[in-house]
Structure 1
Amino acid sequence: MYNFYWLNQLQSSDWKTVGEKAFYLANLMDKGYPINPGFVIPANSFWQFLQHIDWSDPLLADFPHSSLHFNINDYQQLQQISQSINYYILDTDLPFELVSSLESAINNFNAEVLIFQPYLASPNFETFGILEPIICEAISVEFLQGIKQVWSEIFKAKSLFYWHSHQIDIQQLQPVVLVQPLQSAIASGTIQIFADSWEIQVTYGLGISIELGQIIPDSYLISPENCTIQDKKLGNKIIAYNLDTTITKVSYTNTWQEVYHTQMPIPDTLPALQAFLLPEDVQKEFALPDKHLQLLIELTQKITKNLPTNFCFKWSLFKSDSDAEPQLLITDFKKLPKDYQNLEKLPSSTTEEKQSIGLTQKYDLSTKFPDMKNNNQGKKPGFLFESIENIDVPIIKGIAASAGKVTAKAVVIQGLTPQLEEFPEGAILVVSAIISSYLPLLKNASGIISEQGGITSHAAILARELGIPAIVGATNSTQIIETGNYLLVNGNNGEVHLVKEQTNNPKKPDIEVTENSLHSQNFFPIGTKLFVNISQINSIKKAQGLPIDGVGLLRSELMAIELLENHHPLWWIKQGRQSELINLMVQRLTQFAAAFAPKPVFYRSLDLGLFNSSYQEKTLTEEMEQLPLNSSSDRGNQYSQNIHPQNLGQELNFSHQTNSDHPILGQHGTFSYMLEPSLLDLEINILSEVHKLGYSNVHSILPFVRSVEEFQFCRSRIETKWQNKPNHFQIWIMAEVPSVIFLLPEYVKAGVQGIAIGTNDLTQLLLGVDREKAEMKNVFNARHPAVMKAIQQLISQAKIAGIPCSICGDAPALYPEIIDDLIRWGITSISVNVNAVEQTYQAIARAEQRLILEVARSGVGKQE
């Protein structure tokens, strides 16, 4: 017989076997607190089962006795190994002795539904969001499969990635499973215990909707000193979960369960549950009655006398039968890190904690950047180091443009054309403003600090896609920060801290990464298409496996950063290297097309506003360097006249003069194609070659279209130059210039097959705000009524015209609350950065469910 560990029988010597969660629950149970009963399946049962499996796959012949070897950066290989292992686990019958032991133990519950909670007894790593709980019926055929399913969580692709990232050998894992009965609840939630406050979250039914992020729970802030409510907020609770009433004998726990059951799909791991759409009057009430809230506070007060602070427990309020008084039950427990309450606070300066967030390698930056030795002249000696002991005080505060935290050496750059090979990998880039010639450096940088720019600037957009922390609008940062300073860049709150340099255990910077729970496939189908905005090859693997419908915006100018070698596309054409550039662009574009096929990839052709100003600056600099030092003033004046921007533009048949101060108003978008048709021909050749290679899922979006005439010119040239253009090839336009709002029917008549709303440019043009200027951040608001009305009009007109309408700016990710309106108005698709897919998916699901609920209510009203 297999040996299981019951909570009410645990001894202190069982700590290492059952792990922290079960041990604390057993301790509280022993003291008389209301704990949900249960038992722990120890890790040796897991390992015995793996040894029981006949691993016929040659790749797994020595498993589990040998380590798994895989390339962590090869997501497809990771998936293949994961699927192979899990196939054997789920397809192999459990040993007879284990089956007998499980049936005997579970019969003691006399329960209808069970919950299996996997976690690690050792090593002590947080596995929430990595190892998913399983909820199933308490019948043999279900719970025997359930235990195999919960064990297979250890080898999901995201789990393998997590173990490898934390340098955990799989043979070191001691996975245990806490098995408990589960019953329908009136309300459930969590309570987090800190020294100076208690934080309570509450929702209707079981707490699954909180864990899935589908609702905003009710919240309470409690003072531990006198157990009074300091603050409370009503949540947004549209969905609730409870046991499936078709498989349970108990009566309804809540009145809303009798009417508002929905057929919404349930995740594979939760087959014994039902989802309920809550009526509006129920949503407007707090889920936990005051009487039971007070009982919960009193229970918490008693528990804190037996345990230290910084812990969290889950609880449920339930009825044992219809006539019984509701009871509180503690269902889960975990300790919290000491700094959990204030995640933005800088860790203490111990070596171990600093290593967890930063880079310890030292660079002799003066040898790599000799021209930067003197860029600190005029600064007060030791100015920055006067506050080194007070590292909680930021030296700079800017706009948080890309989330994450990183600690590394700073490199201050003020030249126009820095050399990529000379920029040390993992350094923090500090600049006055991000121009296009700096963009290649971002791939080597671990963080960005820029004096100029807004949250929707190109640098911020690229930083978010690359997943590196970025702060913009950081005034005087190039004067305050010196090359070689050791900084903590906090992209979550816009703060820069000066920290002490470390000299031991060098490592690359650690950028905080949140595991995307949607990779677990625990998501509900949605009707609105969800696309990703993407431009970098290393973003492909992050997007694969997510529930997306394709690429909604592939920004070609960001995709081409490295390929262009810091030159304007016209330079390539002038140099006779057009064919070379086409080949490079085709190779890069096909990588995206192949990765997402057969899903569509909407490729936005080059919008040259990003390049024009920096190209002009670079050309002027190169020309000036050729001027003899001893030239006369007359020759100098003559030379200066020869290199005037207008003359440069005439040489290339293209003027850049209007782009240096206000790129948005300059010669870019489709207007630039009319001025220089060779630029459009370049794009036509790229798309034609990609389709010849068989990638028929690539479509075109024309950038920054100002007039119907511009579109007509582009479409006519595409039809003429690309004679064998496939019929299914689509030509869309960006809807970012306000003129499109008033002329969309005319655009459709001219042949536009879809629109992509670019909220970044649309907002600044409607409100007269420069999005690159940090000082205008407070008036750059995509939620402004004028912007929202413009978006509504575009969506409505697209519906009338029968063409798809997508929104691909930063607005849905920055302001997810607008998604309700977008869905209600009839948006066809929403496209966001990879790191915003999860929150956007959930926001879309909530919005669609609200619409379903509204329709259901209106139907009920009509029947009455």
Structure 2
Amino acid sequence: MRWFETLRQGDVLVGGGKGANLGELIAAGVPVPPGFVVTSAAFDAFLRQSGLREPILAHLRDLDVNDTTTLQQTARELQEQVLAAPIPEEVAEPTRRAYAELSRRAGQAEEFVAVRSSATAEDRPHTSFAGMNETFLNVRGAENVLRAVRQCWASLYGARVIFYRREQGLTEEGMSIAVAIQRMVNSEKAGVLFTLNPATGDDSVLVIESSFGLGDAVVSGSVRPDRFEVRKADLAITRREIRHKDFLDTRDEEGRNVRRELSDEDAERPSLSDDEVREIARLGRQIGEHYGAPQDVEWAIEGGRVYIVQSRPVTAVGSQAPAGKAEAPHDGVLVRGLGASPGIAAGRARVLASAEEGARVQEGDVLVTRMTAPDWAPVMRRAAAIVTDEGGMTAHAAIVSRELGIPCIVGTGEATRKIADGEVVTVDARQGVVYRGEVEAEAPAQPVAAAPALVAPATGTRLLVNLGEPERAAAVAAQPVDGVGLLRLEFLILAVTENVHPRRLLQQGRGEEYRQKLAEGLRTFAAAFAPRPVICRSSDFRTNEYRGMEGGAEFEPEEANPMIGYRGAYRYLQEPDLFRLELDAVRQVREEFRLGNLHLMIPFARTLHELRQCKALVDASGLSRDPHFELWVMAEVPSILYRLEDYAALGIEGISIGSNDLTQLLLGVDRDNERLAPLFDERDDAVMGALHDLIVGAHQAGLRCSICGQAPSVYPEVTERLVEWGIDSISINPDAIEVTRRTIAAAEQRLLLASVRDGTPRVGYGSAAGRTVRSSHHTTSP
């Protein structure tokens, strides 16, 4: 069990996609209802103790997912087995205690909670699993929570989920699921927000959809929500569409989920005030800047306060399609709705009441229905376009159509009545119009004013970024940064192995495949930032994270405190074959791809003996033969304070301060322990003193000094002190680029001004005071 606040974005293998993102949002200062996660390790323990894991894999291994009857029968049998098996007491009791503590914090004997599936492959950049794994609202009582947890586990083996996984090329062996348990927001109004327009790709706006009551009606697409567009630059509301909302879902006095019909007057009322729209937009802008990538956000309002209950990457984004040659006549319009996935397509309409009629839809037909659900996926893949009566931008039809790249119009209100089965229609999803017959529709030009460019101030202190996902490399590289100060190899490993433990790949004879995929991923980063430096930290998974991968339990020990366990430099010495594959991947990028801006950093070096042996492995790989190759070391174990001269003598180029682990080890605070969270503070005098001593000591030893921990991304006052003490570079999260560069520039200007006023040069600023410049090629480095 893990409380949300102990999780971060990189903890997907522990808390699943939802759980990891909720923890990340809390760390970013976003208002998130409290809760905890029953981790993927709990599900793995359940499968192991029930003896279900191998039988389930055997059923799925040779399953033909296109045989609908067999797929549904197999899924039903697997779910029944999961629901019938007991939850191990080692999982049940901590869950009961956590629920009791959550209720106590809320001032309730038994609090209402939402129980949400959080699969380890869910809510990731390329796999949405839109609406597939189960969510249960307004659950109350510990035993009911446990029952909902088991139902979430069973949903991992639903027919539609199995089909989607196979279509996405995901292996069953690596699948696991966590469950997020969150205080239920009994919302008066709720909905979704996109940090760009998902239909057009316009990232200058935020799109909000809203309705009364609980948000599930908006997310599922069962209601036609109000829609607002807000300009990011100044949060001005540029567009309003108030729709007829037939009903609201809410919680009654007995805690049951009920649906209430709305009067015509209430149905036509705006669900949000302008102030509420702007507050939701402000939070959405903050979230988008934090992640540095488009986000699909769920929000709710209770008692006048906005809460964020989920954020996930937008898995597919449309773009404005080129206009056709002729405009259709007005009398050819059959229905209008919201263009949720852009494009134009013509075909024979098939009006379906349920997915069971799906066989009537042939390749190239236009699917017309009231709304879709996950079990429609096989049918939707054959359609040239999709039109629905209900739904908004987050409706299942909208999300899946964007993933498939086909036109989709939602929320027409009457498509199933106005469009005749079998007639030829043209779907123009750019304009949200369905025409009778086959026509070419032309959209009117939509000029967009260019946003004024912001000039990034020049700084003497280099500004770098922390990065891990290859798909973000190009976008972040286009921003005013001087390189990558921390490339987290763990993210790349998760992507290229598809959640299979690297040791398992070696066992299967796939070591060369693994190395080649690592090299291709590293190439993506290095090419995007060239000639700016990219410092790749070799893998630093903790054992509990490795155990979450397929095969992990076979290779990883169970440790009481993995934070200070089998990790980092010492692990490389025990498993040099895996370390050599990483070294060979780096060398391939530098030599074969001629991207000499890629360098290496060793994490969690406890002793000089460890580092000396790691350096020998690096030398043996051939990397050190290139005089321009740089080997860095993470400064996170406090012992480094006494070894800087020794590190320099080994030929280490520089140190990068990992303020998260350094704080944990200096203060004796387990940063995964929520009870100790108030004690974890990088601004503590002891930590700040260590930062100062590391910067000064590194320069005296002839080493360069950077920092890549969380502190500069969160605390501007820490950044100011780092500049004052003469740090060479600061590496931060992409969402903090603009504010940090301005903080650095202001701090440097104050130092210069003070120097001019009193005539005293500031140590550490300007002409490398107190440092030894070691070689001319440093001009491209942090």
TM-score by length of 2: 0.45
TM-score with structure 1 setting the length = 0.41
| Structure showing greater Rg | 1
